Amino acid sequence: MPDSEAIEFGTDGWRGIIAENFTFANVCKVTRAIARYLETAYDRDRPVLVGYDTRFLAESFAQTAAEILAAQGWSVRMVDRDCPTPVLAYCAREFHTVGALMFTASHNPAIYCGIKYIPDYAGPATTEITDAIAAFLDAAEIAVSEPGTITAFNPAIDYQNYLLTLLDCDRLRQAHLLVKYDALYSTSRGYLDVLLRQCGCRVETLHDRRDVLFGGGVPEPNGEQLRELVQAVQCDRADLGVATDGDSDRFGIVDEQGNRLEPIQVLLVLVRHLVEQKGQSGAIVRTVATTHLLDSLAQHYGLKSIETAVGFKHIGQVMRQTEVLIGGEESGGLSIGSHIPEKDGILAGLLVAEAIACAQKPLSVLVAEVIAIAGGMRFNYRIDYCLNAAAKQIVLATFQTDPPLTIAGVSVQSIGHKDGVKLYLEDDSWVLLRASGTEPLLRVYVEARSPLQQQQMTAQLKDFIDQILTHG
């Protein structure tokens, strides 16, 4: 029997372990709930899209969902192969649809799958929408007089042609960049490599095939997962290394020296590029877990900076309400104001290549220059505690009611509650504690002004949390 209690919508849809709680029965349950929501929000004269990533059974789950939607009277257009999330989101808006169902667990390990509803505005569903869907999980099916149809479509050309309009392809062609591209067995193969080549880059690929086990790793473009990309860049002296996660909404970047860039470094480079090289303006939107260097850079260019809760759905909501230059998060997601309000790892890789081409400087130089403009290096660190819900709540409640007055000798200036608990220190360093929206973790983020301060802050926080857990 399908289990409604096993279905919980996090910051990016519902995810579960395949055959444990992510079952065909529960997929049917969620799909019917989405169909009931669509019935309340749209007329049936517009289609609904269905897509999936490269995971085990993802296509079968998607086919099952398509059949349920058609049985409920909806016209369904299903992708003809695995598809990036940002591509499906773009099509949801451009094809005048009622939205899309995407089967993906993004960067999670291979044992996971997930389903997310993408509304017709092409960004993540708001909490109000996912709450409305959840309310229909135990609702009865709708009786319809005439079922809908299922047709296949290829979204690649429309999306690729659109993305090319956002880029200075002439400058890219003049640069003749050598780019190493690691697909990490993801959906971006046939998209990012094709677009780079269309822009005149010489592209050499790694792991550009489907593998439901992701080569024994995880489809997350950071850390150890980029080891082979780093080696490839160094071996052939490439100008750039690019990668995406499983559904291509997050990015990984390696500079010409083989350094793995932090997402915040990429965001800084792209802010400068968009302002100085492309003459664009607008607010810079970041999450509470993302570097304050973006605020400093916004101030340098006379732009507004906006802080949101963690989860790109909050950034996307701001993008739909105001003029935005760029929105980004420390976990490797970004989009720009002229694009969709959804993170796009394909676009990110292309924009970094464009920044190198326009500046005619190595990426490592661009990173060093923009950090200097923003006021100097910050040192970020994250600790993940695997805790049950009760333990997470105890830690968060203690920091809310009885937080430390100083951290590493620096006074706590103010406390924010936008997402978890954020302690703002007098020297503009900060600490954030929040429960993960996709995994059973308590995440602790630190941004310091020196490596020593970061070590001291981390050690003090660890001791404080251990004391809470011991005596809580």
What confidence tens digit (pLDDT) does each residue in 161-218 have? 999 999 999 999 999 999 999 999 999 999 999 999 999 999 999 999 999 999 999 9
C-alpha distance from residue 429 to each of 284, 405, 455 (Å): 19, 14, 13
Cα radius of gyration rounded to whole Å, the chain: 22
Q: Are residues 457 and 354 in the same domain?
A: no
Residue 414, strand partner residues: 424
Q: What is the bridge-based pairing of β-strands 48-52 and 100-103? A: parallel
Q: Are residues 93 and 227 in the same domain?
A: no
Q: Are residues 328 and 237 in the same domain?
A: yes
Give the residue from 373, 389, 406 where a domain finishes.
Answer: 373
**Domain membership flag for residue 164:** no
Nearest to 230 by CA among 261, 208, 194: 261
In three-state form (DSSP H/G/I as H, E/B as E, the rest C), the secondary structure along 325-370 is EEEEECCCEEEECCCCCCCCHHHHHHHHHHHHHHHCCCHHHHHHHH
Q: Are residues 344 and 210 in the same domain?
A: yes
Q: Are residues 282 and 408 in the same domain?
A: no
C-alpha distance from residue 72 to each of 31, 114, 462 (Å): 10, 22, 52
Give the residue from 155, 187, 213 where a domain finishes.
Answer: 155
**Domain membership flag for residue 150:** yes
Residue 204, strand partner residues: 180
Q: Are residues 386 and 428 in the same domain?
A: yes
> For position 445, which CATH number holds?
3.30.310.50
Structure tokens at 44: 């049936």
What tens-digit pLDDT sequence spans the chain (472 residues)?
A: 456 667 888 767 899 999 999 999 999 999 999 999 999 999 999 999 999 999 999 999 999 999 999 999 999 999 999 999 999 999 999 999 999 999 999 999 999 999 999 999 999 999 999 999 999 999 877 778 789 999 999 999 999 999 999 999 999 999 999 999 999 999 999 999 999 999 999 999 999 999 999 999 999 998 899 999 999 999 999 999 999 999 999 999 999 999 999 999 999 999 999 999 999 999 999 999 999 999 999 999 999 999 999 989 999 999 999 999 999 999 999 999 999 999 999 999 999 999 999 999 999 999 999 999 999 999 999 999 999 888 999 999 999 999 999 999 999 999 999 999 999 999 999 999 999 866 789 999 999 999 999 999 999 999 999 999 988 6
Which residue is associated with the tokens 């897509």? Answer: 51
**Domain membership flag for residue 68:** yes
Provide CB contacts within 8 A for 452, sequence distance 6+. none
Which residue is associated with the tokens 């009277």? Answer: 73
Give the residue from 314, 348, 373 where a domain finishes.
Answer: 373
> For position 239, which CATH number holds?
3.40.120.10
**Domain membership flag for residue 166:** no
* pTM of model > 0.85: yes
Residue 117, strand partner residues: 101
Which residue is associated with the tokens 């309310």? Answer: 135
Structure tokens at 398: 């203690």
Nearest to 114 by CA among 216, 11, 1, 3: 11
What is the domain count for the chain?
A: 3
**Domain membership flag for residue 274:** yes
Q: Are residues 94 and 39 in the same domain?
A: yes
Q: Are residues 141 and 216 in the same domain?
A: no
Q: Are residues 200 and 215 in the same domain?
A: yes
Q: How far is CA 247 from the centre of its chain?
A: 9
**Domain membership flag for residue 160:** no
Query: Domain limits at 8?
Result: 4-155
Q: Are residues 280 and 225 in the same domain?
A: yes
**Domain membership flag for residue 167:** no
Phi/psi at 386 (nearest 5 deg)?
-85, 100
Q: Are residues 363 and 217 in the same domain?
A: yes
**Domain membership flag for residue 185:** yes
Q: Are residues 150 and 182 in the same domain?
A: no
* Euclidean distance between CA atoms 423 and 446, whole angstroms: 10
Structure tokens at 451: 């490596």
pLDDT at 472: 62
* Euclidean distance between CA atoms 198 and 85, whole angstroms: 21
Q: What is the bridge-based pairing of β-strands 112-118 and 100-103? A: antiparallel
